[in-house]
Structure 1
Amino acid sequence: MSLQDELTAFFRTLYPEIPDAAREVMERAGRDLAASGQAGRARQVGERAPSFGLPSATGTTVSLDALLAAGPVVLTFYRGAWCPYCNIALRALQERHAEITARGARLVAVSPQIPDESLSLTEKHGLAFDVLSDVGSDTATRYGLSFDLPDDLAALYESFGFDLQRVNGGHPRTLPLPATYVIDRGGIIRWAFVDTDYTARAEPADILAALDTLEVSP
């Protein structure tokens, strides 16, 4: 089963359980975000990847420059541990992590959550790759991925019990679009997946195929 098949199956199981009024809020927010052109403002293939230095789940600062010094980078942005689709996608990446590293690449995941939340997620899924905290979404903004939740959707998430004020370190409204980049050692984006639909994610098989097109040093 592909990752998207798994995500779609989860969506079809969950969505009927959501009240009609809540579905209306979520669907309207999704349509508005798609119509906003946000995905088109994200960093694209052929552009230089903005550098960053972000804390890992254990508090160590991880910089893109240091990662690229060792090889290509697979950089994925996700909304947070509260998002079930993010959990499914991160587990799928973990399942293919050995294949990514076998190609000489390093996988890192970035969310707007505080390091304590990243640590809990790492331990929950046994993630072998760095999970970084972009509190305030400065890095996501430089990649053209950040957007603010509309009032009604923010209130709905709060009613669901998602405490984004706490887990995002005082920045409850700003989230990144789901996105994954393959960045070569020169810092150039060679493959990109960006979508306004939070139920859509990059296929691990496509990431591996993109890495196979790079000249990777052992």
Structure 2
Amino acid sequence: MSTLYRYADYLTQPIPESFPSPVRNRERINPLATGHFFPEFFVEEECIINGAALLGHVKQGISLHRLTAQPLVVAFYSVNWNGYGDRLLEQLYDSHAAIEAAGARLLVLSSEKKKHFTAFNPHPLPFDVAWDAQHLIARKAGIYKETDPLWGRVSGVNADVPTPAVFLVTPSLEITYSFTDQFMQQAFSPEALLAAIEKKLAISA
């Protein structure tokens, strides 16, 4: 007996050509931008991965206000960005001396704890690195939401991590330079960051 049409009676309605996306109505991330003010945050002592000029002598944690006596570059990083993250950290390493010479400091906020971070970056770093536990600071920066995961936008990212971002924050907490890359298709420009630092200090002089 032929089974060619045995399930035909169950197809009472046409099959849709496409199904609606389960995340079509998701709440999107809303990154901070130039002209905004960076919300206050606190770095706990146990979250310090690498202590340098900013965090080297911290014993009980430190607030953003105390980190911004000079303009502060706040850069987010994750090992789960793969080669993109490697390039960004290398660019920050290469431009760190120029950032400090221009009158600013650099703070890198890692999505991973110290053990995981140092497993991928075993060499000494000249700048401060801290763990952004539960992505609390990334949430404040508008670059992380559970409802708009990076892995849902970028193929090859298989972890729940923030969007790449770099900000220049003044002592008044105003953002005078911002770089965010929601689809990881752009190239961070250290030259643009340095120009923003020099412009800010020239205005302040």
TM-score, normalising length: structure 2: 0.69
CA distance change for structure 1 residues 88 and 36 in 2, over 3 Å: closer, same or farther?
A: farther
Gaps of 5+ in 1: 1-31, 159-163, 165-172
Gaps of 5+ in 2: 1-22, 52-57
Residue 126 of structure 2 corresponds to: 128
Residue 56 of structure 1 corresponds to: 48
Pairs aligned (count)? 169
Contact 2:103/2:201, CA 8 A, preserved across alignment: no
CA distance change for structure 1 residues 50 and 150 in 2, over 3 Å: closer, same or farther?
A: closer
Contact 1:111/1:176, CA 8 A, preserved across alignment: no
Distance 2:201 2:138 in 1: 27
CA distance change for structure 1 residues 135 and 73 in 2, over 3 Å: closer, same or farther?
A: same
CA distance change for structure 1 residues 84 and 63 in 2, over 3 Å: closer, same or farther?
A: farther
| Offset of residue 97 of structure 1 | 0.7
Distance 2:37 2:151 in 1: 34
Residue 192 of structure 1 corresponds to: 178
Contact 1:72/1:106, CA 8 A, preserved across alignment: yes
Which letter maps to 1:46? G
| Offset of residue 118 of structure 1 | 2.9
Contact 1:76/1:109, CA 8 A, preserved across alignment: yes
Higher helix share: 1
| Offset of residue 63 of structure 1 | 3.2
Residue 20 of structure 1 corresponds to: none
| Offset of residue 157 of structure 1 | 5.7
Q: Give the percent of matched residue pairs that are identical in Structure 1 and Structure 2.
A: 26
Contact 2:71/2:169, CA 8 A, preserved across alignment: yes
Match of 2:201, SS state, is coil
Residue 46 of structure 1 corresponds to: 35
TM-score, normalising length: structure 1: 0.65
Q: CA RMSD in A?
A: 3.3
Match of 2:116, SS state, is helix
Residue 6 of structure 1 corresponds to: none
Match of 2:37, SS state, is coil
| Offset of residue 87 of structure 1 | 1.1
Which letter maps to 2:37? R
| Offset of residue 131 of structure 1 | 1.5
Q: Which has the larger radius of gyration?
A: 2
Contact 2:38/2:173, CA 8 A, preserved across alignment: yes
